[in-house]
Amino acid sequence: MSKNPAIVEPTPLGANPDLETILAAWHTATVRLEQTHEMLREEVRRLTDELEIKNRELARKNRLADLGQVASHVTHEVRNSLVPVALYMSLLRRRIADDAESLEVLDKIAVGLAALDTTVNDLLHFTSDRDPQRQTFALRKLLEEVEASLAPQLSAQAIQMILDISQQQSITADRHMLRRAVLNLALNAIDAMPEGGTLVVTSFAGPGGVELEIADTGPGLSDDVISRAFEPFFTTKQGGTGLGLAIVARIVDVHGGQVTAANCPEGGAAFTLCIPQPQPAALEVAA
């Protein structure tokens, strides 16, 4: 009996090259789709984290702006009140020049007023929103000025300050702001070494900018202090404003840089400022 020519025998699934090609293409497309989906999810997570950081930074800047207005008003009022007080104290000091006990009390009042003035200045520096006035200057000369201003405290506490910086090294930054940042860090280091020690300042020009490290031989920092060191109003010092390191962080931030705190392997704490630098030949070296 002959086969019906109209009936076509089915082709085995594995023997159809066109179907195999389609299935392979489908598998490849599915894998790529899964990979793309995962990449998109990762990108969404990254952008979400970045947005949260930006939102927190914006909220922080808004709070600082509000605080700046309050601080400006308070500072104005306090300073207006301090001027006549200082004048009256000067007149009183002349009248009681021969009264040792009264002069001692007056000296204590003067110390309290000086602390109040420091707090007012810290608030002003912390809330200041001005852009850095960049110029290029010799870094060692700036540090020598800071060392000279701290000479009485360094001598009184038997602290040696070492400037391991070349005379030729320059930096482009706001000179006044950087001086304030270095002074705050140096004062912190001095406070950490009441029984004496060594304060070492080193610097080098790296790919990320000029790095300036201020290290001491004090007791070092706890993990909690390292994580919160630059928070406004956080302090471990009795009577401190908690703004010294926050001012340092703010100064570095407006320069587009970073500041870090860490413990030295041999003991003590180290604070490192990294200040980005412009391309060469941007500014003339200041005298």
Listing DSSP states for 48-61 in one string gives HHHHHHHHHHHHHH
Q: Bridge partners of 161?
A: 199
Phi and psi, residue 166, nearest 5°: -70, 150
Dist CA 70 CA 53 (whole Å)? 26
> What's the pLDDT score for residue 29?
82
Amino acid letter, 227: S
The SS3 assignment for 153 reads: helix
Q: Are 199 and 214 in contact (CB under 8 A)?
A: yes
Q: Bridge partners of 263?
A: 269
Q: Average pLDDT of 190-201?
A: 93
Dist CA 216 CA 264 (whole Å)? 9
Which 8-state DSSP code applies to residue 195?
T
More confidently predicted of 146 and 128: 146
Dist CA 269 CA 190 (whole Å)? 11
Segment 6-56, tens digit of pLDDT: 554 555 545 567 777 887 788 888 888 888 878 888 888 888 888 888 887
Q: At which residue do the structure tokens 């870090």 appear?
A: 260
Supply the Cα-derived Rg of the chain in whole angstroms.
32
Cα 156 to chain centroid, rounded: 29
Segment 58-116, tens digit of pLDDT: 776 777 667 667 767 777 777 788 888 888 888 888 888 888 888 888 888 887 777 77
Least confident residue range of 117-121, 146-150, 182-186: 117-121
Q: Are 179 and 201 in contact (CB under 8 A)?
A: no
Least confident residue range of 192-206, 222-236, 261-275: 222-236
The SS3 assignment for 172 reads: strand
Segment 123-140, tens digit of pLDDT: 776 666 678 899 999 999
Tell me the pLDDT of the chain averaged across its residues.
Answer: 83
What the block records as the tokens of 207 is 């790919």
> What's the pLDDT score for residue 282?
44
